[in-house]
Structure formats: structure tokens, C-alpha cells
Structure 1
């Protein structure tokens, strides 16, 4: 299975990943990933805070507190700030990417538009996957839901086991009396 991640080679610190039009850019933030789409000449298009507050980390975090985001075209270095980023076209094996010129055209046509925002159904990852593949999806949301489900399952089993142990201890005490 081919990998579709290209990132900085740590031995060549000053170099950047080679970016191609329509690439998905995954920006590592504290506790989550912000997503953008590369549109050329160092610029990306992404969902950002709906008011005039610009900036790397504030953009995605503040969007979680609102129901609106704006489509912005900004330099990747501004969007990423000091955070690490990589090209991550992770669904190329599952979905056929649209032609790069079509991806860029669609992205740039949306710049300046206000979009609905929902952390679980209309976030920045949904946005860029829709542009690249024509499929709105967010693995962060899927992974979170799965993790919550597994955690709930483990807790339920743990509580059931604790209850069963309690019942057995009570029964054992009664039998001893």
C-alpha cells in the first residue's frame, strides 16, 4: 500500500515538503489537526474564524465556539505558524482526487464565503476532503467517536465486573454467617 504522506526530512531541516496543487495540508495543533488545501505559490485555502481575528491556532479553536467560518486564502506559513505540517493526501487510495486545476478553481471560488461550521459535521477536514475528493469526511471525528465508544464500552465492562464482584462478596459474607 503506497503512502501519501510527504513531510520534512529531519536531516534536511531548512527544506519544506514539496507541495503540489490540490494537496491536503495537515497542520499539527495541540490536541487536533487543522486542514488546508494547497493552491499554489505558497498559499492555502482553509476554513477560518468568521470574524477578523487572524492567526494560526486561534482560527480553528475559535471556530469550535461558533457556527460560522469563513473560507480564507492565506500564506501557508501564516496558517501553520510555528506548528509542524505535512502533505497528507491520505484518501488517494480510496477516492480518486479531482484534477488539481479543478480543486484549486473550486477552492478559490469559495474564498470570502461564510460557511456553516460544526465540529462534528462541517469542519476544516470535511471542507478540504470535499474539495479534493468530492467527499465530505473527517477522520478526526470518526476516530473521536470510535474512541468515545470504546471508552464507554470499557467503562461499562468495568462497572459490570465491579458490580458482579460486589454481589459475589455479599453472597460470600451471607454464606459465612
Structure 2
């Protein structure tokens, strides 16, 4: 198990040699990071347990299933990283306990809420045997800021496209 390890964002292939059982692996999505727990490693085949909150399109509580999938089927070409940074504040459970707890939850329904009970909470609850979850504030993903930056970039692109289309109009 990687203790206190948080890697930089990298490709799946770059991360493979660093992954250990019980690690929290995050997958970088446009406005958030999808979190999972590593439960099996066979060469280049990494299996994770995760909650699929992609169907949750609102902030209200929904029900989501706990899945066990190959990491290569979950990451969809996005960058990934190990994020065990919370180890500095709370000692993780032992590897066998993390893996067993994660596998026991496969197929169960998880009460999902985008802010209060999401995939990040699920993964940290498993790693730290924390039934209450962890503090969103201790989470290093500033998704509101990322959303703002994305919106600004989109507006900038639209303005540039509009300006480019107007420069070539001949009357």
C-alpha cells in the first residue's frame, strides 16, 4: 500500500507501476475527479471498486450501484493519479481490510449525493474505515474554481470564434 502518496496527474500507462492494493485512484473528469479503490492487480490489469454517480445529474440524493470494474474500463483515456494524501491526517486501515470492505459493497446500492456523499466519500470511507465520511474541505479538488475556469474558457472561445467569423465577411 502506498502511504501518504499523491502522484501528479498522468496517463494510465505511467501510473501502472505505482499502483498498490488499497490505493485511492482518481480519474480526472472535466469538473471533478472520479474516485475508486484498487482491489486487485494482475500485471497491467487493475480492478477497482467505485460508485458510479454519472447518472446523478442533480444535487439531490439519488441511488447508485457499487461496481467492480477494470480500471481501464473506467478511466476512458482521462488522466489518473493516486491520492492517498489523507493518510497524513488519518491512518488508513490495513490493505486486506480495505480490499475486503470494498468487495463486500459490490452490488450494493449507495445513497449518492453530488456534494455530501459522492465517490470521493465512498473511497475514503473504505480506505480509512470511516463510517461518517470525510470533510469535503480537506479534499483538494476545487471543483467550483474548475467550473468557473471552464466557463471562462468557453466564453473566450466563443468570442474568438465570433470575432473570426466577422473578420471575413465581405459586403
Structure 2, gaps ≥5 residues long: 146-171
The reply on whether 1:100 has 2:95 as its aligned counterpart is yes
Structure 1, gaps ≥5 residues long: 50-58, 149-177
Larger RCO, structures 1/2 (Cα 8 Å, 6+ apart):
2
TM-score by length of 1: 0.65
Is residue 32–residue 141 contact of structure 2 (8 Å, CA) maintained in 1?
Answer: no
Q: 2: distance between equivalents of 1:108 and 1:102?
A: 10
Alignment of 1:67-78 (within 5 A): 67-78=62-73
The reply on whether 1:4 has 2:5 as its aligned counterpart is yes
The structure with the larger Rg is 1
Residue 143 to residue 87, structure 1, CA distance change in 2 (3 Å) = closer
Alignment of 1:81-160 (within 5 A): 81-135=76-130, 136-137=133-134, 139=136
- Per-residue CA deviations over 1:101-122 (Å, capped at 9, x if unaligned) read 1000000000000111111211
**For 1:44, which of 22, 35, 48 is the aligned residue?**
48
- Per-residue CA deviations over 1:48-99 (Å, capped at 9, x if unaligned) read 15xxxxxxxxx3xx22446011000000011111110011101011000000
- Per-residue CA deviations over 1:14-38 (Å, capped at 9, x if unaligned) read 5334211110011100011110011
The equivalent of 1:169 in structure 2 is none
TM-score by length of 2: 0.67
RMSD: 3.0
* Structure 1 residue runs of 4 or more that deviate by more than 6 Å after TM superposition: 140-145
Is residue 38–residue 47 contact of structure 2 (8 Å, CA) maintained in 1?
Answer: yes
Q: 2: distance between equivalents of 1:6 and 1:142?
A: 15
Q: 1: distance between equivalents of 2:7 and 2:119?
A: 20
Is residue 36–residue 128 contact of structure 1 (8 Å, CA) maintained in 2?
Answer: yes
Q: 2: distance between equivalents of 1:47 and 1:78?
A: 14
Is residue 37–residue 46 contact of structure 1 (8 Å, CA) maintained in 2?
Answer: yes
Q: 2: distance between equivalents of 1:128 and 1:68?
A: 16
Is residue 64–residue 118 contact of structure 1 (8 Å, CA) maintained in 2?
Answer: no
Q: Identify, as 1 or 2, the structure richer in helix.
A: 1
The equivalent of 1:63 in structure 2 is 56
Equivalent position SS for 2:52:
strand
